[in-house]
Structure 1
């Protein structure tokens, strides 16, 4: 029989317990603020250039300034916001060169995703992607005018992101999928300001991409995704910038 004394758990003082609970609450509130502001950016409620007031957000969310400040800093780190001395915090407004650089990065990431998909996708995976692409083409065909409901356009863009992330998931590299998702979030926030002006997509636009991905040919899949992303970049540049201009043409406004 062991003669060693039983281990006892350290006893926390009431002050320590209170401090731990306070830190946990602040972390929870910061996560809530992060989620709410991020959702509004991606939905287009806070478009590029919109100014965000920490105090106004804190009042609206029913919390102190500290968790709101933490949430906004996290969104700055994500690239969705920018903060400057004596200017404040705003939804990031991209320059023409930054948009081009981001799409170049997206092309590099998704071309690798397409290659992995072409190598590893099973017949079941291919059938799923073909179904998703056909449905996506149908959804975009319904967005045939600027009067289309904003919430419907949002749901279409969400499904579009889901399609690209599913291709990456099937490719089997979790880190690559995570990187693609981060870039999609940033591009999503920019596209929210221009969605109603996007020209109709070519017929079977995503179905043709899916067929190339499902061909099993790495080079065919690679070229198809590159052309897909370059087309999207060209369309965004036409809409968001004046001809040969470098400044975002959408008028910034304060967050509602």
Structure 2
């Protein structure tokens, strides 16, 4: 009985590793939206059988990262406008709650890290380094969520951010004229309210910031689609 159990555990480990690598490839954009995901090609890429590939794709389908079209194929999922709106509504709720909880915690280590993040972000904005700033945006939001010290909230947030593939989207949002400076200013306001232990204010301003980011994103998407039609 021990050998079959060990084999199952090994298969589960391989599946989890494949799923995590595919997840990161989708989130970062290494696998482009709408890309075809062939079990055979992925099996060769990862050097494993098709079984863990198939199971990993099933897991990513549950997470909303992969779309399976019967008799057509498996593809990197692309959220619809409605789905993006719904995901950003959830992002607003979760990040607003996180900012509120962090403000109530007082002087915790995450605040020093957030302040260092803001200094680096200011430098990136001054240098016009959008890629650097985009990475710091993700770190800023991650720090607020982890600083809320609520495991359930953080777990839901991680799943949400995977579905959004936020690493790709944030650059589209920041491509809008003036958005880089505006985003940095909004972060300063959020952090200032957290440091002041103003939970109500921190939640309100964080939610406003997420709404403005969503508006910039949708405008950027519309602009790119318009360019494709020209």
Name the TM-score class by shorter chain. 0.7 to 0.9
CA distance in 1, matches of 2:125, 2:30: 21
TM superposition score normalised by structure 2:
0.84
CA distance in 2, matches of 1:143, 1:169: 28
Provide the secondary structure at the position in 1 that maps to 2:181: coil
CA distance in 1, matches of 2:223, 2:72: 25
1:166 aligns with 2:143: yes
Counterparts of 1:210-225 in structure 2 under 5 Å? 210-225=191-206
TM superposition score normalised by structure 1:
0.77
Larger radius of gyration: 1
Root-mean-square deviation (Å): 2.6
After superposition, the C-alpha distances for 1:204-227 in whole angstroms (9 at most, x for unaligned) are 432232112222112211121012
Structure (1 or 2) with the greater helix fraction: 2
Counterparts of 1:32-51 in structure 2 under 5 Å? 32-51=17-36
Structure 2, unaligned stretches of length 5 or more? none
- Report the equivalent of 1:21: 6
Count of matched residue positions in the alignment of Structure 1 and Structure 2: 223
- Report the equivalent of 1:148: none
Provide the secondary structure at the position in 2 that maps to 1:47: coil
CA distance in 2, matches of 1:80, 1:250: 26
Structure 1, unaligned stretches of length 5 or more? 1-15, 146-152, 252-256
- Report the equivalent of 2:180: 201
After superposition, the C-alpha distances for 1:92-139 in whole angstroms (9 at most, x for unaligned) are 111111111110111011111111111113165433322222223433
1:230 aligns with 2:206: no
CA distance in 1, matches of 2:59, 2:128: 33
CA distance in 1, matches of 2:163, 2:223: 21
Distance 1:234 1:241, change over 3 A: same
Report if the CA contact (8 A) 2:134-2:170 is conserved: no
- Report the equivalent of 2:83: 98
- Report the equivalent of 2:163: 186
